[in-house]
Structure 1
Amino acid sequence: MIFKAVRDTRPYPDHGQTMRDWAAIPPRMVRLELLTTTKSTLDLHGLLAEDSTFYGDLFPHVVEWQGEFYLEDGLHRALRAALQQRPTIHARVLTLPD
């Protein structure tokens, strides 16, 4: 399995982060096998698009809450890394208090 689990929702409380707030978090390495996705559907056009990150952040957004890592944004990038047989991705990780 690529990810730890696949969900349709975010189990953690709303964090209120803006794109500017996310950009202030330095990226770090995260293992794909530790991530739980917060989306269960994938747009194949988005996965295959060469410019899929042109208007967004280059790094996926991960929320760490209660010891778990949730992939909030960047499912396409994470899956692309898995298809290239890379076990880790660089992601911005926001740690929320329990």
Structure 2
Amino acid sequence: MAVAAIGTFATPSYELGLANRIVRLVLLVAVFLFQLPGFVAGAAIMLIAMVMIRSYNTPYMWPFIPFNGPALFNVFLRRPLPKIRMRPSIYRPKQSGKQPAE
């Protein structure tokens, strides 16, 4: 409960905070009704739902699914936007490099 409370206050977006509350409520009800199997099933259903979502024809869980190691590294260790010289491969750009800075 303490981790959930800290996460509620640390969420930067109001809408994301509401989504977290809904997910937490659904998992709480699943655990109340079915104990551990309810938690496992609820978490698996939510993970499958996130894997199936596509936003702007891009998988929601990219670069985890489908796995892309260099892109995953760039997610964890993000450089400043002006320093990034390559476009993400998931968009299949015609030109992979960006325009040179003036």
Does TM-score exceed 0.5, indicating one fold? Answer: no
Structure having the higher helix fraction is 2
Q: Which has the larger radius of gyration?
A: 2
TM-score range, shorter-chain basis?
Answer: under 0.3
Structure having the higher strand fraction is 1
Q: TM-score, normalised by structure 1?
A: 0.22
Q: Which has the higher contact order (CA 8 A, sep 6+)?
A: 1
Q: TM-score, normalised by structure 2?
A: 0.21
